Amino acid sequence: MPAPDDIPGVGPVVALTYRDSKAVGAVFGLTPAKYQSGENNRTGAISRCGDEMMRMMLYEAAQSMLVRSTKYSWLKAWAMKIARHRGMKKAIVALARRLGRDHASP
């Protein structure tokens, strides 16, 4: 893997951020928000931090893949399994994270 300084057009901080593809969901704000104080420990909706346009595009792509597309794919089957157990909105967010994670790594 090239050093972050060797990747053209990518600064060292951005390259280090995307080196671990599992961090992409957090960068785009597609991870659950946490509230911890004393004895309270709640997990909320998505954190919505990071690039709003990228988050919207990933969410829209995931939604159209699940709701409008009739073509079969293993990724759609994976998300529909989540939708059966957890609900369609959570499945769409999970698929959006997966789309961002699988396509962001160099």
CB atoms within 10 A of CB 62: 24
pLDDT one-digit tens code per residue, 46-82: 777 777 788 888 888 889 989 988 888 899 999 999 9
Q: How many CB atoms within 10 Å of residue 67?
A: 9
Q: How far is it, in rounded angstroms, from Cα 86 to Cα 14?
A: 33
Q: What is the pTM of this model?
A: 0.65
Which tens digit of pLDDT belongs to each residue from 7-38?
Answer: 444 444 454 455 556 666 666 777 777 777 88
pLDDT of residue 83: 95
